[in-house]
Amino acid sequence: MLKQSLQQKLLQKLSPLQIQVIKLLEIPTTQLEQRIKEELEENPVLELERDSRDPDEEDTSTETDNEKDEMSIDAYIQNEDIPAYKLSSRNFSKDDKQEDVPFSSGTTFHEHLVSQMGLRIMDERQSLIAEYIIGNIDEDGYLRREVDEVIDDLAFAQNVEVDEKEALEVLKMVQDFDPPGVGARDLRECLLLQLDRKENEDPLVEKAHHLIKHHFDEFTRKHYDKIEKRMHLEEGELKEILEEILHLNPKPGSSYSNPVTKTVQHIIPDFILDIEDGQPRLSLNNRNVPELRISHTYAEMFEDYQANKKNQSKDKKEALMFVKQKLDSAKWFIDAIKQRQNTLMTVMQSILDYQYDYFLEGDETRLRPMILKDIAERTDLDISTVSRVSNSKYIQTHFGIFPLKYFFSEGLQTDSGEEVSTREIKSILQDCIENEDKRKPLTDDRLAKILQEKSYNIARRTVAKYREQLNIPVARLRKEW
């Protein structure tokens, strides 16, 4: 049985201004500029500070005599005085010289592969299969899908029945395209395809081919002693073979670099830190962030509507509601921008004060252990707010540009009880590995002992975790011949 009843609830809701602030806090300076442009396009009440000038303000703009003459001529000439052909969309004469300006446009990696199909003798069926195979090759140049899956897709999507033998024949044609190694299904096949392109008469290439074909697992695990014994190699011969293999490209697709289609990510810092008279000075990077204001025209229009709202038609009342809505939205957006700037500066200034010694010199060993909670307590802000500020934001210093997340790290205690940043330990760990004897690389146990000798109380499993975070392989894989 359905029953209606009244109930009171206490709910926490965010105001439109708070929602705006939260959304704006998350985005970096590069996206903020675009967000402001979008708001300017959507809200006619909002305008740039430089675009609006008081009517009573003195006109300081300067016009040349030529510009004034052109304006007076345009005002003088009437429509009937303009030749008819100039009003046409095809306003050119038959005698006009038409010059085509060449436009340089790049091709993608896949277009480069498709263009080579015409250089091979293929029938229509083979061309269809080859084009489908090329479409499944990734940017590294690999065919990551199984041949059976490609055959099934051809049957369902293209209604073409292909057996495995025919598919492999066409794949072999594609693997003969440039760059060498393209169309391989794994690293082993990729290296073999590249070695096949080299001179087979070269004994070094022949042995490298044999090594990859028959001893690839040992090669990836760097079990060089086993390879030497199984291939009956003389002293120093394996080193030459490995050098030959290391000259091959494990990602053939990356060798096709097109400057026209290449995407370059530019980092624009959100903060700028300068050192003046030995003291750090922090500022927001507002170079591309325009000043905003409420349009005087719409503000006056709203005041006029309100003054005479008693004797207004339905259309004018709707117009009044529209202008009010846009005015409120513009005020919220301007206030949100200001709150964003204040919050960013508050958080970054707190980080600067916390890591003061580090920012003076840029010495990584001076970084103190710092977590989001530390900054939240100093600024009286929520941890989620500090997290939003720290995410995707960068600061430009006199020793480089860094993401704000770089300055946050956990801490460990030394034997003396001093708390140090894990970043400092990672830095020491990386230095140890860079300076190790590559013929006998340091194991995690040995690295843990070295750190313990330096008074850093750290376990072997913690060393392994930090090593993985630094993208450093285990000792066996770091071994060099």
Q: Show the DSSP H helices in 158-223 as ranges.
A: 164-174, 187-197, 203-214, 216-220
Q: Which of 443, 450, 439, 430 is nearest to 475 (CA)?
A: 443
User: With the C-alpha atoms ordered 20, 26, 29, 35, is the resulting torsion angle positive or negative?
Assistant: negative
| Interatomic CA distance for residues 227 and 233, integer angstroms | 8
Supply the pLDDT for residue 392: 83
Residue partners of 221: CB distance under 8 A and separation at least 6: 476, 477
pTM exceeds 0.75, yes or no: no
Judged on CB neighbours under 10 Å (0-12, 13-18, 19+), 34 is: exposed
CATH architecture of 411-478: Orthogonal Bundle (1.10)
The span from the CA of 40 to the CA of 325, in Å, is 15
Q: Which CB contacts under 8 angstroms, 24+ apart, belong to 353-357?
A: 353/378, 354/378, 355/407, 356/280
Preceding peptide of 179 cis, ω within 30°: yes
In contact, 122 and 176? CB cutoff 8 Å: no
How far, in Å, CA of 387 to CA of 406, rounded?
Answer: 13
In sign, the C-alpha dihedral spanning 235, 239, 245, 251 is positive
Longest dimension (CA), the chain: 105
How far is it, in rounded angstroms, from Cα 356 to Cα 344?
18
Q: What is the DSSP letter of 409?
A: B
Segment 270-277 long-range contacts (CB within 8 Å, at least 24 positions apart)? 270/28, 270/29, 270/344, 270/393, 270/394, 270/395, 271/344, 271/348, 271/393, 271/394, 271/395, 271/396, 272/395, 272/396, 273/352, 273/359, 273/395, 273/396, 273/397, 273/398, 274/398, 275/360, 275/398
Burial class of residue 431 (count of CB atoms within 10 Å of its CB; 0-12, 13-18, 19+):
exposed
pLDDT by residue for the chain (481 residues), tens digit each? 677 777 777 655 556 667 777 888 888 887 888 888 888 888 888 888 764 444 444 444 444 444 444 343 344 334 334 444 444 444 444 454 444 444 444 567 888 888 888 777 778 888 888 888 888 888 888 988 888 888 888 888 777 888 888 889 989 998 898 888 899 999 999 999 999 888 667 888 888 899 999 998 888 888 888 888 898 888 788 888 888 888 888 888 876 655 554 555 678 888 999 988 888 899 988 776 778 888 877 777 777 666 666 666 667 677 777 778 888 888 888 888 888 889 999 999 999 999 998 898 888 778 888 888 899 999 999 888 898 888 888 999 988 899 998 888 766 666 665 566 777 788 888 888 888 888 888 888 888 888 888 877 888 888 888 888 888 888 877 877 6
Measure the N-to-C terminal CA separation of the chain; round to a whole number of Å: 82
What distance in Å separates the CA atoms of residue 353 and residue 379, rounded to the nearest whole number? 11
What does the pLDDT read at residue 312?
Answer: 63
Note the pLDDT of residue 307. 65
What pLDDT, on a 0 to 100 scale, did the predictor assign at position 152?
A: 85
Query: Hey, what are 250's tokens?
Result: 């494990």
The C-alpha atoms of residue 255 and residue 141 are separated, in whole angstroms, by 9
Q: What is the length of the chain? A: 481
- Residue extent(s) of CATH 1.10.10.60 domains in the chain: 411-478
Contact call for residues 426 and 470 (beta carbons, < 8 A): yes
Q: Where are the beta strands (DSSP E) in 238-393?
A: 271-276, 279-284, 292-294
| Residue 264: predicted pLDDT | 52
Burial group, residue 20, by CB count within 10 angstroms (0-12, 13-18, 19+) = buried
Contact 475, 429 (CB under 8 A): no
